[in-house]
């Protein structure tokens, strides 16, 4: 995780938890015109629009005070949805057995994308089974990982 995401997570996680929600993770995509800070929250009861509004209000105030992002950005609060993003090591173990799509930063074993069954984490490597073959990719090389909805 890069330094700005670590800082943003350290700021947001206690605030989100104090409101009774789980901070699933966050994405920060800087841009010259307007960046995007997307925060995913969840709870056992699910997430409503009102939940997102309440967390947005709380996080907006916190970010205004702490000012960790100097450039213009848009804040979005969202539920993880059916294609839930996976951020933490625990996520890769929690959803073992599920279908996932994984994109890496750069090539690993000649590939950048994997689509298969998540087998969990072994020795800081995320294991994905694709067409009967297991691939182990370093957790720190994962740029984006999502569950594939089973509808």
Domain with CATH 2.30.30.100 in the chain: 89-147
Range with the poorest average pLDDT among 1-5, 55-59, 84-88:
1-5
Residue 14 pLDDT level (bands cut at 50, 70, 90): very high
Mention every residue, 6+ apart, whose C-beta is less than 8 A from residue 69. Answer: 4, 8, 28, 35, 37, 63
Examine the pLDDT at 104 and tell me if it is beyond 90. yes
pLDDT value of residue 72: 93
pLDDT value of residue 3: 87
The stretch 129-140 carries a mean pLDDT of: 95
Q: How many residues can be counted in the chain?
A: 151
Mention every residue, 6+ apart, whose C-beta is less than 8 A from residue 41. Answer: 16, 21, 22, 23, 24, 47, 51, 52, 55, 77, 78, 79
Examine the pLDDT at 1 and tell me if it is beyond 70. no
Q: How far is Cα 102 from Cα 131, in angstroms, rounded to an integer?
A: 15
The stretch 100-126 carries a mean pLDDT of: 95
Domain with CATH 3.30.300.70 in the chain: 3-78
Domain formed by 89-147, architecture: Roll (2.30)
Q: How far is Cα 139 from Cα 147, in angstroms, rounded to an integer?
A: 16
Question: Whole-prediction pTM value?
Answer: 0.88
Give CATH superfamily name and number for 3-78: RimP-like superfamily, N-terminal (3.30.300.70)
pLDDT value of residue 20: 97
Q: What is the mean pLDDT of the chain?
A: 95
17-71 per-position pLDDT tens digit: 999 999 999 999 999 899 999 999 999 999 999 999 999 999 999 999 999 998 9
pLDDT value of residue 2: 81
């Amino acid at each position: 995780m890069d330094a700005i995401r670590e800082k943003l997570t350290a700021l947001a996680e206690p605030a989100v938890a104090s409101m009774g929600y789980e901070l699933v993770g966050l994405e920060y995509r800087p841009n010259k015109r307007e960046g995007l800070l997307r925060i995913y929250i969840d709870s056992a009861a699910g997430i409503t629009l009102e939940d997102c509004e309440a967390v947005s209000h709380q996080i907006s105030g916190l970010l205004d005070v702490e000012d960790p992002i100097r450039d213009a950005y848009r804040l979005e609060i969202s539920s993880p949805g059916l294609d839930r993003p996976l951020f933490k090591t625990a996520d890769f173990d929690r959803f073992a057995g599920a279908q996932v799509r994984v994109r890496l930063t750069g090539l690993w074993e000649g590939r950048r994308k994997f689509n298969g069954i998540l087998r969990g984490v072994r020795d800081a490597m995320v294991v994905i089974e694709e067409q009967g073959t297991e691939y182990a990719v370093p957790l720190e090389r994962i740029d984006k990982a999502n569950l594939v909805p089973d509808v």
